[in-house]
Amino acid sequence: MRIASYATAQGASFGIVTADGIVDLGRRTPFADVSAVLAAGALPELARHAAAAPDFALAEVTLLPAVPSPLRKVLCVGLNYQAHVAESAGREVPEHPRIFARLADTIIAHGAPLWRPVNSTHFDYEGELAVVIGKPGRRIPAARALDHVAAYTIFNDGSLRDYQKHSVTAGKNFPHTGPLGPWLVTADAIPDPAALTLETRVNGEGRQHTSTADMILSVPQLIEYVSAFTPLAPGDVIATGTPDGVAHARKPPPWLVPGDVVEIEISGIGILRNPVVAEPA
């Protein structure tokens, strides 16, 4: 089941994405948004509306980030694909996850402009599988970790590589550089997050192509590690790292520039697409 957050002229809502359009759930359920559904653990209850006639065509709505604001936590993992470590000169396979946080004002929706900051031209893409937590927990063992996953989506960890050299937090947290979407795909539709194919394209040219099986630390291992130091709650997002093929590893680096279009496709989820624009003055 695909669940989208979106806006129309009547305001923000959420619904089930079908082959024919969107079934509005804001008018059919007591929940205000996706975050409220996740907090109530009510995703399975939404399925009974999937056969309803669509209320909107997909083209009639503006998609919002897959998990709408206010976001509690967006935690990201660095160097979590074998081939990406290999292309990163001087890096060794990490024994433990390399975790950093994303600020809420960096997160944007599918279709929204991806800002190339004025501070630097070293703007890079990173296609990633994102995990959305549905069941709260602390110190969650890997063997039970997938029980805590509500859904999956796609993340583009837009990065300023020169800033990242002296501060990962700075390089990963410029405004409007973190697309999250296009929607949530419930965990029952993705029984094995290590059996997906991820591809990133820039202007139609393939840049990244891999299986999530190349992850060094699996989704359950990441949840176990993260929940050891911070409680996880419904709506929290864990971005699981990017594979090889990023711009900074290429010679010369094909940095993102205004006019580019970045597409990240993950099998079973969909395509996250964003145009690159210059950051507004």
Q: How far apart are CA 66 and CA 132, in angstroms?
A: 10
- Among 46, 10, 63, 35, CA closest to 271: 63
- Among 159, 184, 181, 150, CA closest to 265: 181
- Please tell me whether the overall predicted TM-score, pTM, comes out greater than 0.75 for this model: yes
How do the pLDDT tens digits run along the chain, 281 residues long? 999 999 999 999 999 999 999 999 999 999 999 999 999 999 999 999 999 999 999 999 999 999 998 899 999 999 899 878 777 766 777 788 999 999 999 999 999 999 999 999 999 999 999 999 999 999 999 999 999 999 999 999 999 999 999 999 999 999 999 999 999 999 999 999 999 999 999 999 999 999 999 999 999 999 999 999 999 999 999 999 999 999 999 999 999 999 999 999 999 999 999 999 999 98
Q: How far apart are CA 167 and CA 224, in angstroms?
A: 26
Q: How far apart are CA 47 and CA 18, in angstroms?
A: 11
Instruction: Using DSSP, state whether 134 is helix, strand or coil.
Output: coil
Q: How far apart are CA 255 and CA 121, in angstroms?
A: 7
**What pLDDT was estimated at residue 239?**
98
Pairing type for strands 270-278 and 114-116 reads parallel
